[in-house]
Amino acid sequence: MSTAETELAHVHRRVLSWFDEHARDLPWRAAGTTPWEVFVSEVMSQQTPVARVVPIWQEWMRRWPTPADLASAAPGDAVRLWGRLGYPRRALRLREAAVAMVERHDGEVPTSPQDLLALPGVGAYTAAAVASFAHGLPEVVVDTNVRRVLARALEGRAQAAPALTANEARLAAGAMPPETDDANAWNAAVMELGALVCTARSPRCEECPVSDLCAWRRAGSPAHDGPVRRSQSWHGTDRQVRGRVVQLLRESVGSVSREQVAQVWPQDPAKVDRCLAGLVEDGLVEPDGEGYRLPV
């Protein structure tokens, strides 16, 4: 075994041991969790803090404990119960995925990454994560946290690239432990390390189980000198206005008049018109006579 392989084995052992002790007690990690429960958790957790996901996930699982249960629900019910998780199109895609599971997979979450990718709203990350965490297949799971941890620990870079690169994908694949159980645990452990310790802005290196093995620390923690992923401002964006429209409909009984919709952003009627038209096109809102409602 080469020096690099020996050091990587040390990294595996330490990160997995750290995860055993420090992993958050999330409900979808409990023994006996179904593939459907894992699937829903992965969709909900995209671009959303876990603390906000847990109560919504629990309510969804109480109401729709199987794909068939959600498939039989109205699309508007899924949007309504989505609450304030953001990106409510995910609620519609989740329901569409449930319908596809019923129609193509006997009401079960498919096992193979290829079948998972064929579901509405499922991308490469979700397919790999569900295959690994729900079905025990050692797929390479790469999210923003994983990319950042590996960039620092193995390559000495302060930050990952703004978007996943071919080099980062190869790095993640090469970092996987050879043993299947360890590989699946590694996927979750590295993600957790990035979420809790090796954070983007204020990494807590003193708490990191591999700080002495980290290439970035060994190099003196150099500042990032590459392109920066820009965060979008929130106030006044179409996304904010769309969210207000959906929230108005979510909190209303029956349909809402056009005049009521206009009040979500009265300073810019044209923006409201544009956002409303987009919501209708996306299937999140339906015209209802003189007003609008969530889809039925």
248 in any annotated domain: yes
What is the number of structural domains in the chain?
3
Q: Are residues 211 and 242 in the same domain?
A: no
- The answer as to whether 26 is a domain residue is no
Tell me the pLDDT of the chain averaged across its residues: 94
- Tokens 């193509």 found at: 104
What is the enclosing helix (H) or strand (E) of 292? strand 291-293
CATH number at 101 reads 1.10.340.30
Q: Are residues 222 and 242 in the same domain?
A: no
| Higher pLDDT among residues 254 and 145, named by residue | 145
Q: Does 176 fall in a domain?
A: yes
149 and 68 in a common domain: no
The mean pLDDT value for 261-281 works out to 94
Domain presence at residue 264:
yes
- Looking at residue 229, its pLDDT comes to 61
Alpha helices of the chain — where are they, by DSSP H? 3-22, 35-44, 50-63, 67-71, 75-81, 89-104, 113-117, 124-135, 144-155, 166-175, 180-196, 215-218, 238-250, 258-262, 269-282
Among 97, 113, 135, give the residue marking a domain's end: 135
Residue 162 shares a structural domain with residue 200: yes
Residues 214 and 69 in one domain: no
Domain extent for 39: 35-135
27 domain-assigned: no
Same domain, 153 and 10: yes
- Residue 260's CATH number: 1.10.10
Q: 36: Cβ–Cβ under 8 A, 6 or more apart, which residues?
A: 65, 66, 67, 109
pLDDT of residue 106: 98
Nearest to 133 by CA among 9, 29, 223: 29
Structure tokens given for 218: 């060994």
Catalytic residues: 42
Q: Return the pLDDT at 230.
A: 62
Per cent of the chain over pLDDT 70 is: 98
**Residue for token digits 């009265």?**
266
The 10s digit of each residue's pLDDT in 18-74 is 999 999 999 999 999 999 999 999 999 998 999 999 999 999 999 999 999 999 999
Does residue 208 sit in the same domain as residue 249? no
Q: Which pLDDT band, with edges at 50, 70 and 90, does 290 fall under?
A: confident
**Quick check: is 81 in a domain?**
yes
Looking at the structure, tell me whether residues 79 and 161 fall in a common domain. no
**Nearest alpha carbon to residue 75 among 99, 39, 53:** 99
Residue 28 lies in a domain: no
The reply to whether 49 falls in a domain is yes
pLDDT, residue 232, reads: 62
- Spatial contact of 43 and 78, defined as CB atoms under 8 Å apart: no
Beta bridge partners of 292: 256, 287
**For residue 216, what is the domain's CATH number?**
1.10.1670.10
> Do 196 and 104 share a structural domain?
no
What's the pLDDT at 234? 72
